[in-house]
Amino acid sequence: MAIIWSKEVGDKLYQVRTAGQSVRLYKDGVFHSQWNPARPLAGGVWDLLFIPALFSTQSVARVLVLGVGGGACLRLYRQLLQADEVVGVELDPVHLQVARKFFGLTDAGVTLECADAIDWVANYRGAKFDVVVEDLFTECDGEPVRVAEATAAWFASLLGMLNPDGILIINFEDARQMRQSIENYEKAAGKPVLAYQFSQPSYGNCVCAFLSSDEKPAALRRRLEAIMASYPAARQSAQRFRVRRVVSEMTNRVKQLQHRKM
């Protein structure tokens, strides 16, 4: 692995390293993001910020990504789904520098905003999105920690930026944190949750996709396989994830009431 770029800002050390065709961003030695045009899905947690969008049966035209990192997630939406417009919001200006210079996020369909994502969401008044990806993390003692608490108010803000048939994708520290957020989602949405939990065997993170209509994982996997037909080197690693339905107490209560009426 070769270090092709390095920058110190205060007590932070940023590095871009290459391994074969892969470009990787490191911050203080922590692996943040990776992009390989021949192997866009490589079995990393970043894959899970893209794969749930394949639940959509409609074209994905506008995508919002909160937390850019190196920008691999944005590249996935542009390259694999041909999204017309991808907006990325990132607090760290060095990450945006890397995203433009080394991850190739310079075309007209990509807008990168250097801002606090929570403030940006609060002030947003533009057109709605087909997919919203929330991946807001910082580091504490070398461990990733979520920045935005998944309160009902936060869910309401994110859902307010989504089209009626849109998909909200949120990265949580673990499955326990995700499950604790479900009641807040239901308060904001005013209905039982319709969601799927995604995980990778090598990562503790849990990504949750909140859907507007019911879709089955089998359909998602067929769409993924169709995309990966163009990337044979990525096919095996792209399938390296687990998906399971999220069931809440509200959902259980609704089922119990329906059963009593029968």
pLDDT tens-digit map of 166-190: 999 999 999 999 999 999 999 999 9
Q: Is the pLDDT of residue 257 over 90?
A: no
- Percent of the chain topping pLDDT 90: 83
**Region 98-116 average pLDDT:** 97
Considering only residues 105 and 254, tell me which one the structure prediction assigns the higher pLDDT.
105
Position 125 pLDDT exceeds 80: yes
Answer whether residue 90 shows pLDDT above 60: yes
Q: Cα separation of 108 and 186, whole Å?
A: 37
Query: What is the rounded average pLDDT of the residues 206-215?
Result: 95
Compute the mean pLDDT over every residue in the chain, rounded to the nearest whole number: 93
Residue bearing the bigger pLDDT, 241 or 142: 241
User: Looking at residues 12-17, what average pLDDT do you find?
Assistant: 97
* pLDDT of 250: 62
- pLDDT value, residue 202: 86
41-254 CATH, one of 3.40.50.150, 3.40.640.10, 3.40.50.11060, 3.40.50.720: 3.40.50.150
Is the pLDDT confidence value at 227 over 70? yes
Percent over 70 (pLDDT), the chain: 94
**Band of pLDDT at residue 261, cut at 50, 70 and 90:** low
Q: How far apart are CA 157 and CA 153, in angstroms?
A: 6
| The pLDDT value given to residue 157 | 98
Predicted confidence (pLDDT) at residue 42 exceeds the cutoff of 80? yes
Q: Over 60: is that where the pLDDT of 260 sits?
A: no
Which residues have C-beta within 8 Å of that of residue 254, sequence separation ≥ 6? 192
Asked if residue 83 lies in contact with residue 62, where contact means CB atoms within 8 angstroms, the answer is yes
- For the chain, state the CA radius of gyration: 18
Q: What is the pTM of this model?
A: 0.94
| Domain ranges, ordered by start, for the chain | 41-254
Q: What is the mean pLDDT of residues 13-35?
A: 94
- In which band, very low, low, confident or very high, does the pLDDT at 251 lie, cut at 50, 70 and 90? low
Looking at residue 200, its pLDDT comes to 93
pLDDT band at 252 (very low <50, low <70, confident <90, very high): low
pLDDT (tens digit, 9 = 90+) per residue, 126-163?
A: 999 999 999 999 877 767 899 999 999 999 999 999 99
In the block, tokens 């990337």 appear at 231
